[in-house]
Amino acid sequence: METSVSKLFNGAGSGYENYFSVLTQALAALNLWLNTERVILSEELGKTYADALGEVFTLMRDRFSYESTDTLLLDIAGSGYPHGYMISRLKADQLRAEQELATIPSEMDLKRIALDSLFSEGQINKAFLRQIAERKYFERLLETDVMETITFLCGKTHEYQNGLSGITWAHFDQGSSTPALYSMTFEGSRELPTELYAHLVHVLKFESKVQSSISTLASGIDTGVTGLLPVTLKRVTLGPIFIHGATTQETLWKDMLEKYGVPGDYILMVTTDTTHASEIIHPSSLAVSFGVQKTPRQAFAIDTQCELHAKRGAYHVEQVLLLSHRLMQRLQHDAEVLPLLKSEYTLVTFDNQGVLL
């Protein structure tokens, strides 16, 4: 997924408000689908992470409610989400929130000044409205703890089945501006020693990347954490998202939205990659003589007969498209595109109230 930054200017007619509105709808549909399909081991962690995504993007929209000349950076050609830099900027704002609030009058004082302006001048001074919006933004930043959650969220290890244990985590890959959920089962007790669990979390945070092969990720965990043997690994990539009017790269998705979509329509792609341990590889005596450790490592299954599976380093890949029912209805008239989509993707539709159909 190649990253391409685009600027979506704030201000009247810029479309940024519509972008966030559609993004909120898409995340609500995603949250519902995740709860329905149970694609990861921990449904609670998945919901927590989806809610955190929604809250962070709401904070981003709040920032633009007073920064009227600022620009929103979107990874238009890649994920369709706000660029990772925008999240870094929210974190920087959070660090200086108390300092900024000390320079802004209280909300009560601002409202009083605004009313005085209304009665004396016949209109409310826009500068006061801006300060009210700015104060609310920084107050909300101080109250939230989702900034770290969206970057990386890891659950506790738990008992799974057949003597295996499991763990679920979530990560926002800033390199591709894409969020993803992960689940892994492994051999051994769920009660990992504190130091081993801390090291596992460190490795998961470092190794988790949307653009890397899922088998490469599994191997990185296998070799990076001594005393833990991964058995299965699943990655659920929550994107890209294509939004009517905000998707600029010339692709099938842009053509579909331009031909059949209306403002408010979106297509959210969810890709699930899975692999499993297939064999144990012991280093040769020659390799050991050159300093390679004797510790055996695991190989992870890849379906090399399928081009998509081989490209993603997975044994199995499933791709789902979340889209509105009204967009799906319009696609019914395209005898070429719809069969193509149905052959490669599972289509999941929602009605206007976001109810799964």
Three-class SS of 205-265: HHHCCCCCCHHHHHHHHHHHCCCCEEEEEEEEEEEEEEECCCCCCCCHHHHHHHHHCCCCC
Domain shared by 143 and 196, yes or no: no
Domain shared by 284 and 242, yes or no: yes
Domain span at residue 290 reads 150-350
CA distance 272 to 319: 6
Give domain status of residue 313, yes or no: yes
Q: What is the mean pLDDT of each run of 10 residues along the chain (357 residues)?
A: 61 71 91 85 89 93 81 82 92 95 87 76 76 91 90 92 91 93 89 91 94 94 90 96 82 90 93 95 66 77 96 97 92 90 93 67
Tally Cβ neighbours within 10 Å of residue 291.
6
* Tokens 């620009």 -> residue: 71
Residue 14's pLDDT is: 59
Domain shared by 219 and 275, yes or no: yes
Q: Which of 99, 116, 149 is the last residue of a domain?
A: 149
Residue 288's pLDDT is: 58
Give domain status of residue 356, yes or no: no
Give domain status of residue 357, yes or no: no
Residue 284's pLDDT is: 66
Q: Which of 149, 171, 193 is the last residue of a domain?
A: 149
Domain shared by 276 and 295, yes or no: yes
Give domain status of residue 164, yes or no: yes
Domain shared by 122 and 265, yes or no: no
Domain shared by 111 and 210, yes or no: no
CA neighbours closer than 13 Å in the CB half-sphere of residue 177 = 24
Residue 151's pLDDT is: 92
Domain shared by 339 and 262, yes or no: yes
User: Could you write out the DSSP letters of every residue in 90-111?
Assistant: HHHHHHTHHHHHTTS--HHHHH
What's the structural domain count of the chain?
2
Residue 66's pLDDT is: 81
Residue 2's pLDDT is: 45
Domain shared by 186 and 71, yes or no: no
Q: Bridge partners of 17?
A: none
Residue 327's pLDDT is: 92
Domain shared by 312 and 187, yes or no: yes
CA distance 335 to 65: 43
Tally Cβ neighbours within 10 Å of residue 155.
19
Give domain status of residue 355, yes or no: no
Convert 67-76 to b/e letters by CB count within 10 Å (16 or more is b): eeeebbbbbb
Domain shared by 139 and 180, yes or no: no
Domain shared by 157 and 300, yes or no: yes
Parallel/antiparallel/unpaired status of strands 297-300 and 316-324: unpaired
CA distance 85 to 94: 14
Residue 287's pLDDT is: 59
Residue 145's pLDDT is: 87
Q: Which of 119, 149, 179 is the last residue of a domain?
A: 149
Domain shared by 200 and 332, yes or no: yes
